[in-house]
Amino acid sequence: MRVMLCAVAPALTAIVLGLLLGTIGDLTWGQYGYWLAPDSAIALSLALIGAGLVVLAMGLLMAFRAYRRANDFVAAAAELDDLLECNQEIVTFANLANPAVPERSRARRTPLFPVLWRRAIALFGGLDLRREFRLEVGAPLKRSSIFAGVVALAMLFATLGLVRAPTPESREAAKLRAIAQEIAKTATSSDDTALAGKIRAAADALENSKLPPAEKKKRIEDAMRQAEKAAEKRNNSQSGKNRGTGKSNAQSGNGGGKSQGQGNSSGAGTGEGKSGTGSGQNAGGNNPSPGKGSTGNNSGKNDGGKGTAKNDKNDQNKGDPSNVKLQNELAKAEAQAETADAKNPGPDNQPGDDKNQGGANKPGDKPDQKSGSQPDPNRPGDLPKPGANGDRNIPAAGGNPKNNKDMGSNLGDTHLGEMPTSTNAQRFLKPGEKGAGVDIKDARYVMFRLPGAPTSSSGGKTVLDTDRPKATTAYVNAPLAPTSDDAPPDERQLVPPRYRDMIH
Amino acid sequence: MGAAPQQVSPDQRVADFRKIFSRAESEVARVIVGHREVVRKLLTALFCGGHILIEGVPGLGKTLMVKAASETLGLSFKRIQFTPDLMPSDIIGTQVLTESDGLREFQFKPGPIFAHMVLGDEINRATPKTQSAVLEAMEEHQVTVFGTTYVLDPPYIVLATQNPIELEGTYPLPEAQMDRFIFKVVMGSPKPDELREILNRTTGTAQNKIQPLFEPARAPQAIEDLKGLVREVMVAEPLERYIISVIGGCTPGGPGAIPEVSQYLRFGPSPRGAQALILCAKVNALLAGRVSVSYDDIDDAIVPCLRHRLLLNFQAEAESVSSESILEQVIKRLKKPRT
């Protein structure tokens, strides 16, 4: 009993916290705009419930063991022995007077057994069962409340670790899920259930970061289509009904004239309208009440008994607030998916694939948003490669000044403009000689071809030549002969900014 | 006192045991200052029917203690000083050619081993051959000379001493032979107060006379009755299991052996160790006025009963790990069975 009391409080605390995690979240961190991701919430909730059940099971197991021990003659004697501090005299007595094995017990007795008997009886005489085995509820509950506190603290810390400010996608997904739940609750047909399922799938897809944006969009569009289909179906069934019974008995309230007209109502009402003021004129209100209403959704006019209650589909959709809300949310979700698509270029958006030249960020236009076509200059894979494609990335010597326009290309540093294409330098110009100017100002890449290092067979040591003459005039590269195809790839390196002025 | 058990109630027998034990302790304490634990172990070993190995430097009063105990209990006492040239016949006795009424015959002349209490001083100085002669008498309570077996009168107890500081020219007892002693007691140096008391008693004119508890003729039977009472003390099955678990826990590779045991021991105690443990626990129970053994009685007996039965390995000796420390760990870690 005491064991169970110890186990009950923490177990119940854990289970209750696990079950009410959502409500607790709504009342606490939800108030401050934070949220617990559904996966984490489910995991935490399951963990808490599981822990509670485990503690409860352990408590039951220990209680069962205690019960069994209490039924064991010698074990119960041992319990009493401990309680009365009898130096195992009661255990020995129980062992030698065990009714379960009377023969064996008797064989072990010695002439001193009567002494033991008398001593055991004397010890039992001092035993007050009510005092010794009083059910103390306070202490076990106090102890268990400590454990319960520990469970609550563990939950608190776990929650603190898991609670996040929601991303726009998650927020949108949560809204969609809420709508899905609402639809599922009030579902009257299989279409509604299917719609709820689609919306949930769309919400899941929206949150799933591993899913490609195209797939997300697809699922959201599926949900939108399903929503439209469901709305349309509802409208059709409603309009069918109204077409058949579209007789509108317009009864004037004040004039007393009766008017009968044929209404073409596709509203949710039955088309039997009683309204109007004046004689013979009935102006149908736009009453969105579904079911058998007085006027239904008649937004048309019932004029002089020949009122035609017209109600187009869009009006009908507008009249269903949950549908409107759903459409809105789905549209938002789609927008979110598109935004995510723009944010994450993904593996498909390779530099060079994007032919949209306007892909670069424009100042002031969503500064946080990176263009999908912008390559990362630090990525080694984005360095210009030799060969056909690589040539396009090489600055052009003697380049076309038109190329300096910032076209927002993905081929290089868009800030600095298009990379000039290269021409092969052939030789250094002689001092004083003026060749064609190499327009590589502000270029980020320069291609060098270094001569092979002289090999020394004697293995001499390297000495820095500090006395070598330093250049006083600028050197300009002249075009070199084109390299053969089987030549090793040229070495490229970034020109440090401090040397850029030296290159003309 | 010392009456036949048939005429005395069990309660009275238990009370007599306690009284005799207590009086014997006080009588020995008239002569021996301090060493109460050693005296208690000596008397416990006597009532358990075992022998005791006392380890201590010379001059601590080992001989005096044994002599005082034998005098108190009214038992015969002999002392053998073990030397390397001591022969087995010097201890157990030999056939001597005698002549009486013109008839010559070999007559057995018993050696000093024929006494109720035998003190083997510095047993490790004798050769293994002589040691084994004593050890056989200890175990069998009989000696065989020229094909004739002579039974040693009960009660029979050998108190062997060992000098731990002199190892040159000694033959330390093999572990297998150490196992035959129920206890190994270490006798330490006296404390300053005790030393002052020793000086007062031994250098003055006052003489402390011991009052024997039994008449010499009745003493052996009285002691045997008390030994019988010890064996009547009851042990519950959970406590027997505990003793078994202690023995298993001290045996390398045994069930429930603690890591230190496997690390530092070569061999654990033998079943003789478990017997010693139970008997000693029974005496402890009687001394506490109980007729059944408790866990505390067993725990108190573990170190003196098992310390000389553990065979330490080289690592333990290198790390100065003692068998006592290992036993203390075993006592700490073993769980007491409840059923």
Q: If DSSP states are collapsed to H, E and C, what string results for A161-203?
A: HHEECCCHHHHHHHHHHHHHHHHHHCCCCHHHHHHHHHHHHHH
Phi, psi of A456 (to 5 degrees): -110, 125
Indicate yes or no: CB of A115 within 8 angstroms of CB of B291.
Answer: yes
pLDDT of residue A198: 81
Contact B239 A75 (CB under 8 A): no
Structure-model confidence comparison of residues A191 and A377, the more confident one: A191
Q: Is B336 on the interface with A (CB under 8 A)?
A: no
Helical pair A73-84 and A89-96, crossing angle rounded to 10 deg: 160
User: In angstroms, what separates the C-alpha of A65 from chain B's closest C-alpha?
Assistant: 13
Highest mean pLDDT among A83-87, A132-136, A228-232, B325-329: B325-329
Closest residue of chain B to A82, computed from CA coordinates: B338
Q: Å from B140 to nearest chain A CA?
A: 26
- Interface touch A88/B288, C-beta < 8 Å: no
User: Contacts of residue B14 in chain A, CB cutoff 8 Å?
Assistant: 112, 115
What is each CA distance from B269 to B76, B306, B332, in whole angstroms? 32, 7, 18
- pLDDT band for position B281 (cuts 50, 70, 90): very high
B291 CB within 8 Å of a chain A CB: yes
CA distance A398 to A434: 13
CB-based contact, A482 to chain B, within 8 Å: no
pLDDT at A38: 76
- Tell me if residue B111 falls in helix, strand or coil: coil
Euclidean distance between CA atoms A165 and A36, whole angstroms:
8
Whether B237 sits inside 8 A of A112 (CB atoms) is: no
Q: Is residue B234 within 8 Å of residue B248, measured between CB atoms? A: no
At B287-301, the pLDDT tens digits run 988 888 999 899 988
On whether the CB atoms of residues A249 and A274 are closer than 8 A, the answer is yes
Among B274, B308, B280, smallest CA distance to B294 is for: B280
Nearest Cα residue to A333 out of A176, A165, A164? A176
Over the stretch A345-395, which tens digit does the pLDDT of each residue have? Answer: 544 444 444 444 444 444 444 444 444 444 444 444 444 444 444 444 444
Return the minimum-mean-pLDDT range out of A144-148, A336-340, B12-16, B277-281: A336-340
Q: Do B232 and A78 touch (CB under 8 A)?
A: no
Q: Which tokens is B71 given?
A: 């005098």
Q: Spell out which residues of chain B touch residue A113, defining contact as CB-CB under 8 Å.
A: 234, 291
Contacts of A93 in chain B (CB under 8 A): 292
Are B73 and B47 in contact by the 8 Å Cβ rule? The answer is no
For β-strands B157-162 and B142-145, DSSP reports them as unpaired
- Chain A residue numbers touching B236 (CB-CB < 8 A): 74, 88, 91-92, 94-96
The DSSP H or E segment spanning A447 is strand A445-448
Question: What does the alpha-carbon distance between residue B102 and residue B91 come to, in Å, rounded to a whole number?
Answer: 29
Contacts of B339 in chain A (CB under 8 A): 69, 72, 74-75, 78
Minimal Cβ distance to B295: which of A75, A88, A109: A88
Question: How many angstroms separate the CA atoms of B300 and B155, rounded?
Answer: 25
Residue type, B130: T
Q: Does B295 touch chain A (CB under 8 A)?
A: yes
CA pair distance A272, B284, nearest whole angstrom = 108
Distance CA B296, CA B213 (A): 29
A vs B, Cβ pairs < 8 A, gives: 72
Rounded CA gap, B283 and B291, in Å?
A: 9
Q: Which of B236, B290, B338 is closest, CB to CB, to A75?
A: B338
Say whether A114 and B10 touch across the interface (CB within 8 A).
Answer: yes
pLDDT band at A259 (very low <50, low <70, confident <90, very high): very low
Tokens of B126: 């004798």
Quick: pLDDT tens for B46-61.
899 889 988 888 788 8
Average pLDDT over residues B172-197: 84
**Preceding peptide of B155 cis, ω within 30°:** yes
Is residue B41 within 8 A of residue B69, CB to CB? The reply is: no
Q: How far apart, in whole angstroms, are the C-alpha atoms of residue B191 and residue B35?
A: 10
Residues 6+ apart with CB under 8 A from A212: A346
Mutate to test the interface with A, among B292, B297, B336 (most CBs of A within 10 A): B292
pLDDT tens-digit readout, B130-167: 888 887 788 888 888 888 888 888 888 888 888 777 66
Q: What are phi and psi of B236, to 5 degrees?
A: -75, 155
Pairing relationship of beta strands B52-55 and B157-162 according to DSSP bridges = parallel
Q: B294-323: buried (b, 16+ CB within 10 Å) or exposed (e) per residue? A: bbebbbbbbbbbbbbbbbbeeebeeeebeb
Answer whether B234 sits within 8 Å of A74, measured CB to CB.
no
User: For residue A485, which amino acid is it?
Assistant: D
Whether residue B289 lies within 8 A of chain A, CB to CB, comes out as no
In this predicted structure, what is the pLDDT of residue B73? 86
Residue with tokens 């140096």: B189
Check if B226 contacts A (Cβ < 8 Å).
Answer: no
Residue-wise pLDDT tens digits, A70-102: 777 788 788 788 777 788 888 888 888 887 777
Q: Which residues contact B214 (CB under 8 A, 6 or more apart)?
A: B1, B2, B73, B74, B222, B223
